[in-house]
A and B are shown apart, each in its own frame.
Chain A
Amino acid sequence: GENVEQHPSTLSVQEGDSAVIKCTYSDSASNYFPWYKQELGKRPQLIIDIRSNVGEKKDQRIAVTLNKTAKHFSLHITETQPEDSAVYFCAARPFGSTDKLIFGTGTRLQVFP
């Protein structure tokens, strides 16, 4: 069945360091991979996404890479700041689906000043 694995479950970094979160998906036909940031008690907010025809995408301090052969994708945050502290979820959209996303289990990122 469709499954997304996410690692690590918790990640603590010093302010200014980089953070990397990795996800693996099972459905090779998945074609869209968004990343969401969720602060305590708030909605998941889209921070970056990548489509299956692209290998890498950057937006300021955030980047996502996709390896379709290995079926994994990663989130990279550089120059981390305390306000980056939140739970981050990766997701994969199965081929043929519009709104169905399969989410990972989340990574709690803590950035210490």
Chain B
Amino acid sequence: DAGVTQSPTHLIKTRGQQVTLRCSPKSGHDTVSWYQQALGQGPQFIFQYYEEEERQRGNFPDRFSGHQFPNYSSELNVNALLLGDSALYLCASSLKVGPGNTIYFGEGSWLTVV
């Protein structure tokens, strides 16, 4: 049973560039969310995707956008990168309909903006 998988694991970008991060949910899950975890802090909710639509959004600017594909996988895009976007980006998946809604995290993508 595959867990939540993310790619790439590490990447370095320059200020002003754009980045795309990818996530495949745990087998059987249909809902994907993205979190940003800055060093020494707890994860912060960015947004959630279900049925290929953004359903909830945290307090992040429009530079952060996403997409969910018919196979439930998802992408996180960040435009016009700032130094402050350097963080661990975590993808989480769950099953929207059903008992529990337990949320599982992937290993994350470490983004460094220089």
Q: Kindly report which residue of chain B lies nearest to residue A31, judged by CB atoms.
A: B101
Decide: A99 near B42, CB < 8 A? Known: A43-B90, A43-B108, A44-B90: no
Cβ < 8 Å to B, chain A residues 64-98: 89, 91, 93, 97-98
Question: Which chain A positions have C-beta within 8 A of B43?
Answer: 44, 89, 101, 103
CA distance A46 to B90 in the complex (A): 14
Q: Chain A contact residues (Cβ within 8 angstroms of B): what range? A: 20 to 34
Q: A106 to B42, alpha carbons, bound, how many Å? A: 6
Chain A residues whose CB sits within 8 angstroms of the CB of B24 once the complex forms: none
Contacts of B102 in A (CB 8 A): 34, 46, 49
A32 & B101 in contact (Cβ 8 Å cutoff): yes
Interface residues on B, range: 20 to 34
In contact, A98 and B96 (Cβ under 8 angstroms) = yes
Residue contact B94 to A99, C-beta cutoff 8 Å: yes
Chain B residues lying within 8 Å of A62, measured Cβ to Cβ, are none
Contacts of B48 in A (CB 8 A): 97-100
Cβ < 8 Å to A, chain B residues 57-114: 58, 90, 92-94, 96, 101-108
Whether B45 pairs with A100 at a CB distance below 8 angstroms is yes
Residues of B within 8 A of A26 (CB): none
A-B contact sample (8 more), CB < 8 A, given A93-B101, A103-B44, A104-B42: A34-B102, A42-B107, A43-B107, A46-B104, A91-B42, A98-B50, A99-B94, A99-B101
